[in-house]
Structure 1
Amino acid sequence: MSVAVISGDGIFTRAMLRARDLDASARFYDAALSPLGWKILGPFDDERMPWDRNKPAFPVVRPGTGEASSSGVTIGFAAEATRGVDAFQAAGLAAGGTDEGAPGQRRHLPGAHAAYLRDPGGNRVCGYAFGDGN
């Protein structure tokens, strides 16, 4: 039996962002995703750094043409509880991210607790949890 190398839990195969400075992105995502149970699974080479719990579903890659990162997409990472969202925000800010929305309840979706950051490359990411669990 073969095991898929890249998995997105049945919805997507992966979500990929581009970043000119992979070292800064590695520091940011190592810090911000650690409270959510994610870890770095690479690098694949000097152009790609993947993260996930067990399969490389979230790679950050160096743009092939040297262009700037996109800011039109937000990638959300699931947290087990609201404290994970809060830890995601604190760790991401400490690792060079910028605040795009403090941790808290979101009016548009009852029970949603989220925090938004821009990574060092300008990409927008968030930590999200549902329910009242801490």
Structure 2
Amino acid sequence: MGIFTHNCVGTNDVERSGRFYDACLAPLGIRRLGEFLDQGLAYGDRAAEFLVLRPIDGEGAIPGNGVTIGFKAPDRQAVSAFHAAGLAAGGTDAGAPGPRGAVPHAFGTYLLDPDGNKICAYCFKPPAG
């Protein structure tokens, strides 16, 4: 059982963010579920678990300093595909795919989305072979 109902990032350009998230989340098996109210987009498997939204207060979206949204990847290849697709769709490298020392077998990568939000993808399976 997870501990979150959902996670959100802010955007100033829903269309641009949609192209980015459609591309980088596809290798992880996460798809766009559609619009979320009139604020932005919903992603997930069956339920809206990740939202990309314009701020409701009318102020511009700004990334949270120290905030990272992490996505589960089915394997190391999906981690690398997430990173490559995100870069091709307008993201910025914030940590190339590779082993991470925090947890045994951790393999992860980091991106900044077009609005500067930090996201990552991780696989915790041992290397194949």
TM-score above 0.5, yes or no? yes
Query: Which residue is equivalent to 2:77?
Result: 83
Q: What runs of 5+ residues in structure 1 fail to find an aligned partner?
A: 1-8
Matched, 1:116 2:110: yes
Which of 6, 31, 36 aligns to 1:39? It is 31
Higher mean C-alpha deviation, range 100-109 or range 58-67: 58-67
Query: Following TM superposition, by how much is the alpha carbon of 1:67 offset from its aligned partner in structure 2, in angstroms?
Result: 2.3
**TM-score, reference length from structure 1:** 0.88
1:133 shift after superposition: 4.2
Q: Decide whether the 8 Å contact of 1:103 with 1:116 is kept in 2.
A: yes
Is the CA contact 1:20–1:66 (under 8 Å) kept in the aligned structure 2? no
Task: Give the TM-score, by structure 2 length.
Answer: 0.91
Name which of structure 1's ranges 90-99 and 57-66 shifts more when overlaid on structure 2. 57-66
Map 1:89-100 onto structure 2 (within 5 A).
Answer: 89-100=83-94
| Identity fraction in percent | 47
Deviations 1:12-54 (A, max 9, x none): 1000111011111100100000000011011134422000111
Contact 2:105/2:127 (CA < 8 Å) preserved in 1? Answer: no
Following TM superposition, the consecutive aligned residue runs of length 4 or more in structure 1 with deviations greater than 3 angstroms are none
Q: What residue is the counterpart of 1:23 in the other structure? A: 15
1:89 is matched by which residue type in structure 2? H
Q: Which has the higher strand share?
A: 2
Give the distance between the partners of 1:76 and 1:98, measured in 2 at CA: 16
Please, what is the CA RMSD of the aligned residues? Answer: 1.3
Query: Which residue is equivalent to 1:5?
Result: none
The correspondence of residues 43-58 of structure 1 with structure 2, limited to 5 A, is 43-58=35-50
